[in-house]
Chains A and B, each alone.
Chain A
Amino acid sequence: MMSKIVRTMSNFLILVVLVYGLYIIMHGHSTPGGGFQGGAVVASGVALLIVAFGSHSIHENLKEHHLSILKSTGLLIFIGLAFGGMARTFFYNFLVGSPIFGHIPPLGPNPGEMLSGGVIPLMDIGVSLNVAGGLSAILLVMALAITATEVEE
């Protein structure tokens, strides 16, 4: 656990980090970024908390199985969307042209649109849940391992 200044500041900074992570996740299909990058940013927020508050006090609120559920859910969303195209082929982008995220932007350089890309933004969300949960779990477990604490089943 670090000093009070650091803890107060990280309480504030975690919001900024999370908002930035969400921005990167949600705009993956129109600007550089995406699920992996945004998920890593969110996980870096967890790293900030672990450094500021110490791994034990984080572990009291954030158990490993919460993260496990998070990453399983993310991957199930991802593979579910892939199965969704099964009427044609696995991973077929079945939402292009449909009302949900189906808008196709004008070809060539353009300002970009939020509701385009078909399944891509949804897959971004699934992957980001997996990456955020997974990297946080690694950070938390390894931080606990330094103090020789083992994880409950």
Chain B
Amino acid sequence: MHALVTHSPILIIAIPLLAAFLIPLIGRANEKARDVLVVAALAFVGFLVIILAKDIYFNGLRVYTLGASSSILTIPEHYMVPVRIILEVDSMSTFMAIITATVSLAAAIYSLAFVREETGQNRFYTLLLLLAAGMFGMELTGDLFNLFVFLEIASIAGAALTAFRTRFADTAEGGFKYIVISSIAALMILLAIGLFYAQYNLINIGALAQVMQYTMLDKIALALLVIAFMMKLAGVPLHMWCPDAYSVAPASITVMLVAASYACLYALFRTCFTLYGVCLNLVTVGWIVIIFGLLSMFIGVTMAVFQSDIKRLMAYHCISQTGYMLLGIGVGLAVLDNPEALNSYGIAAMNGGIFHIINNALYKGLLFLTAGALFYRTGTRDLNKMGGLAHKMKWTAIFYIIGALSISGIPPSNGFASKLLLYESTYQFHPVIAIVAMITSILTLASFTKAFYSAFMGAELPEYEEVKEVPKSMMAGMAILVVGIIFFSLFPGLVIDWLAHPATEALINQGAYISGIMGGMG
């Protein structure tokens, strides 16, 4: 057990990779065995994530030096800088890994029925596992170049999966946009890594944070990193690819792409808080993040109101919900060097923002999966062509209602818990922010109510006479996320204490991250 915990950071990444390499061999022989392998690998990874998270909650952060004679030997003996690649896992990383594990397990189970009629399933599952491995790799690594490599794995797998159903005209377009944006973002990150390497001859995040001078070159690198991650997570001026890619991807993949964009959000937080930390001009950078957040929130939701394609509508909501997270974190960043403000509302804002990530991954994932269920039975994404489906697809309708209530922040739901935290804390920082956030929330409710009426209510259409409930495995995929939402709605305090708050502490505590790598010298 102890050895399992010690090696769990790398096993979480290596097991999906190993399974992905095995699938082309196993899938040719036996399709059942392949399905079992996919689900078993992801379930085992989920188990590892939980024991790792538990260990880190009680014992503090963990390092894993790859290829060294001992996993805690971050720096070679008699030397002063790390040479090997180091995985560094703290509560923020495990928080993100929990999201990825849940979402990919739900997506894999949902896919079992969802893509059963398609060809190329072996490759579909290979890429799904690689996408999951890419996200885990991004979240657990402590090395900038390694972050870039795993970002590319996630991007390429995501783009290929977006274009999975090649018979439709617009899938290749969506995938092309996704890969172009991802490549530009990745190359900008690589350029920033080069700038760091030129000055400090280091690529390790903790070691770089220790010697960070915040020179002109560092500022250019910061701008490159922030723009690149904003591109990947579809912050507003750079969001045009997002609805196109999300709407054409198979529903289970859209859910994974949402999780992948949160992995980039995590990378952005890591950059701002851990890599630069207090040497930034905090107020300026904080306000830039807040303004990005406000723009994303407002423009995302206003665009969503006019959509008639159900997945495009949800994609725009995705942009708008990302705004809330940026908001919470931006407020925290702006007051990072002001202990009084940080304690009175900064930490609360960050808790809200981080709690919102996991809430959003759950309910946004659920909503995309219900949209996929509608598409699976009706063959269309156009809301105007649907109607009266509530009787035929009872469970899907119930799941949709749960997701919609949660995303709009109606009181007992988990969405309400995180939004309330955000409203209260951002109001103390600047009232306008809280007001915009509330307006966005109301518009979200309006838009989802409209979508509900056009899809599920109204007269039953003759062409959907034959429609029935979706297969069991799709129901099971959605049920995993529903259970998560209900649990989070019932015990929001517990989730904040056990997940969100430790993650916030981990982000704020730059010194702990540095000394995890550099030992006593941090």
Partner of B25, one of A69, A82, A86, A89: A69
Contact with B along A63-101 (1 / 0, CB 8 A): 001001101110110010011011011111100000000
For residue A153, CB closer than 8 A to chain B, the reply is yes
User: Which residue of chain B lies nearest to A65 when distances are taken between CB atoms in the complex?
Assistant: B28
* A-contacting 9-mer, from B14-22, B91-99, B100-108: B14-22
For B25, the chain A residues whose CB sits under 8 A away are: 69, 72-73
A88 to B7, CA, bound (A): 10
Residues of B52-90 contacting chain A, CB below 8 A: 64-71
Q: Known contacts being A68-B24, A86-B7, is A92 close to B67, with CB within 8 Å?
A: yes
Partner of B22, one of A72, A82, A92, A153: A72
Partner of B70, one of A68, A69, A71, A89: A89
For B67, the chain A residues whose CB sits under 8 A away are: 85, 89-93
Residues of B344-402 contacting chain A, CB below 8 A: none
Contact with A along B1-42 (1 / 0, CB 8 A): 000000100100010011001101100100000000000000
For A65, the chain B residues whose CB sits under 8 A away are: 28
A86 to B3, CA, bound (A): 10
Q: Is the CB of A72 within 8 A of B69?
A: no
A52 to B71, CA, bound (A): 52
Q: Is the CB of B18 within 8 A of A79?
A: yes
For A85, the chain B residues whose CB sits under 8 A away are: 67
Q: How far is the CB of B118 from chain A (nearest CB, A)?
A: 10
Q: Is the CB of B24 within 8 A of A92?
A: no
For A69, the chain B residues whose CB sits under 8 A away are: 24-25
A69 to B71, CA, bound (A): 33
For B24, the chain A residues whose CB sits under 8 A away are: 68-69, 71-72
Q: Known contacts being A69-B24, A72-B25, A76-B22, is A89 close to B64, with CB within 8 Å?
A: yes
Q: Is the CB of A89 within 8 A of B119?
A: no
A93 to B295, CA, bound (A): 50
Q: How far is the CB of A62 from chain B (nearest CB, A)?
A: 16
User: Which residue of chain B lies nearest to A91 when distances are taken between CB atoms in the complex?
Assistant: B67
For residue B412, CB closer than 8 A to chain A, the reply is no
For A89, the chain B residues whose CB sits under 8 A away are: 10, 64-71
Q: How far is the CB of B6 from chain A (nearest CB, A)?
A: 9
Q: How far is the CB of B72 from chain A (nearest CB, A)?
A: 10
Tell me the interface secondary structure of chain A in the complex. Answer: helix
User: Which residue of chain B lies nearest to A93 when distances are taken between CB atoms in the complex?
Assistant: B67
Q: How far is the CB of B19 from chain A (nearest CB, A)?
A: 11
Q: Number of residues in A with C-beta < 8 Å to the partner?
A: 20
Partner of A92, one of B14, B18, B69, B119: B69
Q: How far is the CB of B50 from chain A (nearest CB, A)?
A: 20
User: Which residue of chain B lies nearest to A76 when distances are taken between CB atoms in the complex?
Assistant: B21
Q: Known contacts being A69-B25, A153-B119, A153-B120, is A79 close to B17, with CB within 8 Å?
A: yes
Q: Is the CB of A88 within 8 A of B69?
A: yes
Q: How far is the CB of B263 from chain A (nearest CB, A)?
A: 21
Partner of B66, one of A71, A76, A91, A153: A91
User: Which residue of chain A lies nearest to B73 when distances are taken between CB atoms in the complex?
Assistant: A89
User: Which residue of chain B lies nearest to A75 when distances are taken between CB atoms in the complex?
Assistant: B21
Q: Is the CB of B120 within 8 A of A90?
A: no
For A88, the chain B residues whose CB sits under 8 A away are: 68-71
A127 to B229, CA, bound (A): 31
User: Which residue of chain B lies nearest to A72 when distances are taken between CB atoms in the complex?
Assistant: B24
Q: How far is the CB of B339 from chain A (nearest CB, A)?
A: 39
Q: Is the CB of B21 within 8 A of A92?
A: no
A153 to B64, CA, bound (A): 40
Q: How far is the CB of B228 from chain A (nearest CB, A)?
A: 26
Partner of A79, one of B21, B28, B68, B71: B21
Partner of B14, one of A71, A72, A76, A90: A90
Q: How far is the CB of B115 from chain A (nearest CB, A)?
A: 13
A90 to B65, CA, bound (A): 8
A83 to B14, CA, bound (A): 9
Q: Is the CB of A90 within 8 A of B21?
A: no
User: Which residue of chain A lies nearest to B87 when distances are taken between CB atoms in the complex?
Assistant: A90
A69 to B10, CA, bound (A): 25
Q: Is the CB of B10 within 8 A of A90?
A: yes
Residues of A19-76 contacting chain B, CB below 8 A: 65, 68-69, 71-73, 75-76
A153 to B25, CA, bound (A): 13
Q: How far is the CB of A97 from chain B (nearest CB, A)?
A: 12
Q: How far is the CB of B90 from chain A (nearest CB, A)?
A: 19
A135 to B119, CA, bound (A): 23
A92 to B17, CA, bound (A): 18
A91 to B67, CA, bound (A): 4
For B69, the chain A residues whose CB sits under 8 A away are: 88-89, 92
Q: How far is the CB of B152 from chain A (nearest CB, A)?
A: 15
A90 to B71, CA, bound (A): 9
For B65, the chain A residues whose CB sits under 8 A away are: 89
Contact with A along B457-489 (1 / 0, CB 8 A): 000000000000000000000000000000000
Q: How far is the CB of A129 from chain B (nearest CB, A)?
A: 12
For B120, the chain A residues whose CB sits under 8 A away are: 153
A139 to B64, CA, bound (A): 39
A71 to B269, CA, bound (A): 36
For B17, the chain A residues whose CB sits under 8 A away are: 79
Q: How far is the CB of A75 from chain B (nearest CB, A)?
A: 4
For B68, the chain A residues whose CB sits under 8 A away are: 88-89, 92
A39 to B378, CA, bound (A): 47
Q: How far is the CB of B93 from chain A (nearest CB, A)?
A: 17
For B18, the chain A residues whose CB sits under 8 A away are: 76, 79, 83
User: Which residue of chain A lies nearest to B9 when distances are taken between CB atoms in the complex?
Assistant: A90
Q: How far is the CB of B85 from chain A (nearest CB, A)?
A: 8
Q: How far is the CB of A145 from chain B (nearest CB, A)?
A: 11
Would you give 7 A-B contacts (Cβ < 8 Å), ordered by A?
Answer: A65-B28, A76-B22, A83-B18, A85-B67, A89-B68, A89-B69, A91-B67
Q: Which 6 pairs across A and B sit closest by C-beta, in order of nearness?
A: A91-B67, A90-B10, A75-B21, A72-B24, A91-B66, A68-B24
- List 20 other contacts, CB 8 Å, given A90-B7, A92-B68, A153-B122: A68-B24, A69-B24, A72-B24, A75-B21, A76-B18, A79-B17, A79-B21, A85-B67, A88-B70, A89-B10, A89-B65, A89-B66, A89-B67, A89-B71, A90-B10, A90-B14, A90-B67, A91-B66, A91-B67, A153-B119
